Structure 1
Amino acid sequence: MSRDRAGVGSAAEPTDQLAMRRANLSRTLRYIRANGPRSRAAIAAATGLHKTTVSSLVDELSTRRLVRETDLEYSGSAGRPGRGVSLSPDVGAIGIEINVDYLAVHGTDLTGRTVIQKRVGYDATRGDVERCLADLTDVARRSLAELTRRGVTPIGLTVGIPGLVDAARGVVVLAPNLGWHDVPVAARLARTFGPKLWIGVDNDANLAALAEHAGGVAAGTDDLVYLTGEVGVGGGVILGGRLLRGADGFSGEIGHLLVDPGGDRCGCGRVGCWETKVGLAELLRRAGPGAADGPDRDSMPDPHHRIRQVARRIAAGDQAAVTALAEIGRWLGHGGAVLVNLFNPRVIVLGGYFAEFADRLIPAAQAGLAGLTVASTARRCHFVASHFGFTAAARGGAGVVLDRMIEDPTGFPLAESRPLAAV
C-alpha cells in the first residue's frame, strides 16, 4: 500500500479518499508556500507522496489556478530537469477594517504580493448602522473590482471590526465605540456578493495579531500580544503559534481591563478601563487644546491627521504633548505587565498610533513592565513597534482567506479558468 494511501479502509473508502485528496492538496500547497517553487519530483521527495500522486495533485491545483509552472528548475544532479511549480498570482483576497475614524483595505494575491493597500478617513459614528454597512459594501465592491482589474480573481473577503465578534456566524455582538449591537455583517455582505465569495468577520486585533505573526516585526514568534492603539484599544493574543479565542470567541478585549477604579467612564459603560488611559482619544485629550480638533477635523477624521498634529507639537517642544506621551507610556507598561503575568508572551507588538510614537512610549512602557511583572523571566518580554500601521487588521483579514484556502483548496469554487502559461 502506498504511503499516501495508508490507513484507507474499504468501508468508508469514497469518503476517506476525498478527505485524503483534500489533505494532500493542502500538503502540496503548504510545502510550495513554505519553500518556494519546486519541481514535482522535489515535492514528492519532500512530502513523501508518490510522483504520480503529486503530478495529479498539481494538475488539479493548476486547474483551480492556485499554482502555475515556472521556468526550468535544475537540481545540480544528472538527469532531466523538471519545471518548477509555484503559487499562482491569479487568485487573491481582500481584507477590510472599519474603525471609528477610518476604513482600511488590503488586497493580496496567493504569492503574498500586495496588490491594493489604502486607508481613508471615515467617521463611523456619524449616522446609523445601515449607513455604515452600505458604505462598507460599497468599499468592498470597489476593492474587489480593483483586484479583478489588476488580474487577480478574488476568492474571499474578511472584515475586521473593533469589538466582540462571533466569527463563526459573522455577527458583531458588541462594538461599543461604533455603537453596534448584534449586527449580522457577513449575512449583509453575502446578499450582495453571493455564495461564490467566501466572507468572514473577525475582531480587528485578532486579525492584526495574525498578520504580525505571519509576516510582521514578530514573524515566527509563537507567543505574542498585539495592541491596536486606536480610539479603542484591543488585543490579539497568540500562544503556542495559535490565536487565543476563548470559550465564546471573545478573548482579547484587553482595553477593558480595570486599571483605575476611580478613573474615567469608558465607551463600554464601565469606569477605569485601560482604554481610557492609553487610547488615542486620551492622548488627544491630554495633549491639550488643538490636538483633538484641528480646524479641518470635521472634514478629515483620519487618525494620521491628528497624530501629525501631536507630532508637530512635540517637535516644537510643547510640554503638554510631551507629558501626555510620557503618561501614556507609563500606563502602557502598567497594563502590559498584566498581560505578561497572564500570558507570558515574548513580544508585545504596538500597532496604530502606539507605533507612530514608539520611540517615546517604549522606554516608559518597558520600565513599567519590568517593575510590575512577577516572574523574573517574564521581564524578557519586550515592546516592539509594528511596521503595518493602521492597515494591519486588513492585511490579516486577507491572509485569513488565503490560509483557509491553503488548508482546504476544495472548499472554494474553482476560479474562472484561463490558460495557465508558464512565467
Structure 2
Amino acid sequence: MPSHVVIVGGSMGGLRAAEQLLANKFDGVVTIVGDEKHMPYNRPPLSKDVLAAERDEHNSTLDHWHSSVAFRQRKSIADVRWRLGSPATASDLDAKTITLADGEVLHYDGLVIATGLRPRRLDLPGPKSGRHVIRTLDDAINLRAELQPGSRVIVVGGGFIGCETAATATKLGCQVHIVEPMAAPMIRPLGEEFGTALRRVHEASGVHVHTGVSVEEAVAGNDDPERLAAVTLTDGTRLDADVLIESVGSHPNVEWLDGNGLDLSNGVLCDNHLRVESRPDVVAVGDIARFPDPAAGSIPRRIEHWCIPTDTAKRAAVSLIHHLNGDDEDTTPFSPLPSFWSDQFGLRLQGYGAPGDADHISVLDGDLSAPIDDDPSALHGTVVGYYRGSQLVGVVMISPTPASARKYREAIETYRTAVLTS
C-alpha cells in the first residue's frame, strides 16, 4: 500500500509542502486539510490590492478576488486530495490519526503541520460590529466594504500589517488614526530610529499617529448599541470611529495538537530539519514552525516572513521522504535567509537577515531624518544596517535600486555562510 501523507493546513505552507513532496519523487497519496473553503491564495495583497481597488460590480465578488490572488496550481499536484472547509480538531500522533471537524478520521504515514497563525483580538468591552482583523480573504472583503471616503478608521498596532492597512485606508479617503503602544510604529522589527522615520511618513501623508497608548474601550453609538461609534484610549483620549482594525499580533494554530506531549508554547518546536520533537514522521512548515537556525545562534524561533513557507517546505519534504523511504538523513544545515518587504505610501521597505538580533544600527546610505514634507520619496535609497557587535546581521532598505538590493543581500548571505562554515 502506498504511503499516505496528510498535510494539515490549506494555505501557502500546505501547498508548497505538497509541491515539494512530489518534486522529490514521493509516489504515495497526499491529502491537504484546510479550514477555509478556498484553494490556497497569496495573503500580502489582502492589505493592499484587495482593499485599495476601485469599487464596482465586477470586482465586488469573493470569486473575483479569490481568482486574483489564488496561487497557480501546478500540474504536479493534480492528484492531491483536498479536504477544505473542515479543519483538524484533534490528533493522536502515536496512533497516527487526525480528526476533522466533521468527524472524519484520517490515518497517515507522514504528517505535515502547516496550520499557521490566526489574529489576536483585543479584549475590549463594548460593541463588536465595526471591528475587523485581516488574515483571510473573507476578512479583507468584509473590511473593504467599510472603507469608504470619509470613514473614521482606527488601526490598533503599528506593525507591518497595521501600517500597510493605514496607508491603504488613507489613500481611499478615510480619516485614519494609528494607535501604537510603543514609542513609534514598527519598533520591534526595525528599531526606534527607523520607526520614527516611518511615523513622519504616515503623518505627512495624513495619518494621525498616537504612541505610548492603547485602546481601552469600544464605545457604541446612541442609535445602535451593537455598532462602534468611538474608542477611548488609555490616556483618556476619545476618537470617533466607524471602523476599528485590530493588528496586534497572532496566535499559532496548535490546539488540535494538544495531548501529544509536544512543546506548543510558541508554535511547534522542531529540530533544524523541521522534524517535530523526536517524531521523524511529523514535520512542520511555515510560520508555525519554531526551529533553530545555525546562522543566527541556533535558538529556536518562528519566522513570519512570506518566504518561509517555501523555504521550510523544501527542507521538511526532504526530511519526511527520507524517513518514509528509510534513507539516511540529509545532514546539510538548514539556514534560510529571512527576507521581507512592505509597501507604504509609495515606499518599498525591503529587508534581509535578522534586524531583531542587532544591538545597534547604522545608516549606510541616505538619511532617515531627511525632510519629507508631503513627499516621502526623499527617503528613497536609504539603507540601514543592523549590527551585533561589529557584524552586519541585517539590512533594511527604502525603495532600493536593484543593484543596491543585490549588494546588501549578498553581504548578509556572505556573513551567514561564514557562520555556517566556521
TM bin (shorter chain): under 0.3
Greater gyration radius: 1
Structure 1 length-normalised TM: 0.27
TM-score normalised according to structure 2 size: 0.27
